[in-house]
Amino acid sequence: MANETILRFNNVSFEYTASKKILDEVDFSVRKGAKITIMGQNGAGKSTIFQLMAGGLSPESGSVNVGQNITIALARQAVLADQMDLTLREFFQKSLNEAASAKASASQRKIYDIDPKIDAVLEAVNLTADHEKKIKSFSGGQQARILLASALIQDSDLLLLDEPTNNLDKEGIAHLTKFLVQYKKTVVVISHDSDFLNAFTDGVLYLDVHTKKVQWYQGNYYDVLDQVAAQIEKEASQNARLSKSITDKKEKANYFANKGGRLRLLAARMREAAEEMEDNKVESRKDDKTIRQFTIPAQEGTGGELLKITSLTVIKNHQPKNIKANISLYKNQHLLISGPNGIGKSTLLESLVTGNAKGASIAPGVVVGYYKQDFSTLNVDETVYRAFSKVAGGLDEQSLRAMAAGFLISNDVLFSKIGSLSEGQKGLVMLMKLTLLKPGLLILDEPTNHINFRHLPVIAKALDEYKGAMVLVSHVPEFVAKIRIDETLELKA
């Protein structure tokens, strides 16, 4: 049945701690064959909803009801650290074992003839690879495709995709979009890629970070943005009218109360009416906030050639190949490195930072700010405040708090461990760290991943105006178009 409900949230509330409530009596349902987007601000709890759907978390109150014999597969945002040393075959075997366990298969028996299944799902995500190759040896974009394939191989009734376009190049996003348009089963997606979402979404579940509620909207992604804007305007107008009436009644009540006698009774009734109007005010939907404009200061005292690249290694036909280059980067010059997934862009950036790049060098004394796409340079056991303090250059706590607020890092987040943050929040932490660091050379690997689309113009402006040397890798052309690029190094397969 096309209208069959396969999953329902009934008055679901969830909190990690007493001060970190995520959901408050949330109700919604997912129907068979639907293609739904979950929207919400970074850190609102979208990935938590996925974990509740998949059974990885349990609600504090209420219930998550899954239809009889309905199976669920979750494609995560990133490969878990303890799975990086698995071979491709072992990684897919683990996915199938988890699916078998979810289906109450007590003995997680080894699944034979797995290789044809692996080849089939890799073809679906437009990837070919040796099954004995370790996961850590794949690029970020290739890992994104493998994560999607690991969910597909489970052949589940409900497919949950958490930021599936992160790290994907233009070809990869186009392939994924076509796949989802043609997909016959139920899909729920978390993504900040508006064009991608608009291609297949028929409904949106909007998680409001302020009210902790989820609201259902019918239509595609852009339809929903219009509906949200209209709702906010309507509620603001209604509250403005009520506020004016409340003020009028209170002023009249004060006037009559001073007259004494029976007019005091009239004044009391007016105050009661004003209180009733206060109760009738709508808890107005607040639109997602955008980070404040910011500047990344460049290291002072740098000059001359800051970065030199004479040769580099690319991957062609699954084999490394050394190619010549002639790149000299000076202060206030921006370099874009482009190329398909798996060509070696992230490997090049990391080798530059670690000093292991053959044929490339950074001038001595240059402070390097490195935005790594998987956030592995962040210490997950450290608080956000501690991470900032290390590079704050003597800024006091009050100044750090004020600066963090501009990046939508609230006080409770500021003193939380980095490991407890959402991927989007980690991205904002990375950006503020770069601002505090004042680097002479910025090296940025996919800085738009996980970031709310509302923040991207602000980030692009900060990078465009950056006065130091910059190396950028990004697969988002609309983002790159807003940034001054002085030179492009195009790597071809």
CA 413 from chain center: how many Å? 16
**Predicted local confidence at residue 105, as pLDDT:** 42
Among 144, 174, 46, smallest CA distance to 373 is for: 144
**Predicted local confidence at residue 369, as pLDDT:** 96
Phi and psi at residue 203, to the nearest 5°: -170, 155
**Predicted local confidence at residue 91, as pLDDT:** 92
**Predicted local confidence at residue 276, as pLDDT:** 77
Q: 């501009």: which residue's tokens?
A: 406
**Predicted local confidence at residue 8, as pLDDT:** 94
**Predicted local confidence at residue 322, as pLDDT:** 87
- Residue 233, amino acid: E
Q: Could you give all domains of the chain from N- to C-terminal order, each with its CATH number? A: 5-225 (3.40.50.300), 305-490 (3.40.50.300)
Distance between CA atoms of 108 and 196, rounded to whole angstroms? 36
Structure tokens at 50: 């996925």
**Predicted local confidence at residue 1, as pLDDT:** 45
Strand 305-316 vs strand 360-362: parallel, antiparallel, or unpaired? Answer: antiparallel
**Predicted local confidence at residue 280, as pLDDT:** 66
Please report the DSSP string for 5-40 in residue order.
EEEEEEEEEEEEETTEEEEEEEEEEEETT-EEEEE-
238: Cβ contacts below 8 Å, ≥ 6 apart: 281, 282
- Taking the model in full, what pTM does it have? 0.69
**Predicted local confidence at residue 41, as pLDDT:** 80
- Residue 167, amino acid: N
Among 216, 208, 217, 156, smallest CA distance to 187 is for: 156
3-state secondary structure 442-477: EEEECCCCCCCHHHHHHHHHHHHCCCCEEEEECCCH
In sequence order, the β-bridge partners of residue 346 are none
How does pLDDT run across 164-211, given as a tens digit for each residue? 888 778 888 888 888 888 888 999 999 878 788 888 888 889 888 778
Burial 413-443 (b: 16+ CB within 10 A, else e): bbebebeebbbbbbbbbbbbbbbbbbbbbbb
**Predicted local confidence at residue 101, as pLDDT:** 60
**Predicted local confidence at residue 169, as pLDDT:** 80
What's the whole-number average pLDDT of the chain? 86
Distance between CA atoms of 428 and 404, rounded to whole angstroms? 9
Distance between CA atoms of 234 and 314, rounded to whole angstroms? 55
Helices (H), 126-220: 140-152, 170-182, 194-198
Distance between CA atoms of 469 and 302, rounded to whole angstroms? 10
**Stretches in the chain below the pLDDT threshold 50:** 1, 104-109
Helices (H), 158-220: 170-182, 194-198
Please report the DSSP string for 58-116 in residue order.
--SEEEEEE-TT--EEEE-SS--GGGTTSBHHHHHHHHHHHHHHHTT-TT-PPPSSHHH
Side-chain-side CA neighbours of residue 449 (13 Å): 28
Distance between CA atoms of 150 and 8, rounded to whole angstroms? 25
